A and B are shown apart, each in its own frame.
Chain A
């Protein structure tokens, strides 16, 4: 069973379109995250939800809107896609506090290409 699963794995779309990426975790974690990895492999946090409540909201264009219907799901909706949104988006989950030693569990990523 996949612990953190994201769909779709690949997404190619035209500028101006609206798209969503879905994420689900079956680990019973209470916190989920969205990260963006650019072409230079730099990972930057975008959002985090703890038990459906937004706890981290980095400086991200408001075209990006996360939604957490329950603590096992965190979706990312992107409006009016731009070329610069092309990247790999990773979902992750964890149990807080992390000092128990487990760290984050990442999904396999969604490669978004805007043309």
Chain B
């Protein structure tokens, strides 16, 4: 069953602006991951945050996790046209760490 729900479904911004995407989930998790998918391509792992972590940074990416609210956010700072892609959150559940994906946010960064 679907776990993560991203919000918004689509986001259009200008180059240089920040982009924030949110994800909510329903059950307990081992960790939460964010992936990027360029049109017609496979998914690329961006960042993983463990259930006992609250914030993580990687380059221009900042991820927060609030397990009490079962939500996460992905912030991309100083966006570039090359950041245009769909972004998915995925929650890892159980011993098998099955990754359950949300529907994704389609981000368009206009030059």
Q: Are B33 and A103 in contact (CB under 8 A)?
A: yes
Q: Are A43 and B101 in contact (CB under 8 A)?
A: yes
| Docked pose: A7 CA to B80 CA in angstroms | 32
A106-B43 in contact given A41-B104, A101-B48 (Cβ < 8 Å): yes
Interface of B is mostly: strand
Question: How many of chain A's residues have a CB under 8 angstroms from any CB in B?
Answer: 29
| Docked pose: A90 CA to B90 CA in angstroms | 15
Could you jot down 24 A-B contacts, CB within 8 Å?
Answer: A4-B42, A41-B37, A41-B86, A42-B2, A42-B103, A43-B43, A43-B88, A43-B101, A48-B98, A56-B96, A90-B43, A97-B30, A98-B30, A98-B48, A99-B31, A102-B45, A102-B48, A103-B35, A104-B33, A104-B43, A104-B45, A104-B99, A107-B42, A108-B41
| Docked pose: A104 CA to B45 CA in angstroms | 7
Which residues in B have some Cβ–Cβ distance to A below 8 Å? 2, 30-31, 33, 35, 37, 41-45, 48, 50, 86, 88, 92, 96-101, 103-104
Q: Are A45 and B42 in contact (CB under 8 A)?
A: no
Give the residues in chain B near A90, CB-CB below 8 Å: 42-43
| Docked pose: A55 CA to B93 CA in angstroms | 13
A45-B45 in contact given A99-B31, A103-B33 (Cβ < 8 Å): no
A96 located at the interface, meaning its Cβ lies under 8 Å from any Cβ of chain B in the complex: yes
| Docked pose: A113 CA to B65 CA in angstroms | 38
Q: Which of these, A40, A45, A99, A106, contacts B50 with CB under 8 Å? A: A99
Q: Determine the residue in chain B with the shortest Cβ distance to A35.
A: B101
Q: Determine the residue in chain B with the shortest Cβ distance to A108.
A: B42
| Docked pose: A67 CA to B42 CA in angstroms | 22
A105 located at the interface, meaning its Cβ lies under 8 Å from any Cβ of chain B in the complex: yes
Q: Are A55 and B96 in contact (CB under 8 A)?
A: yes
A109 located at the interface, meaning its Cβ lies under 8 Å from any Cβ of chain B in the complex: yes
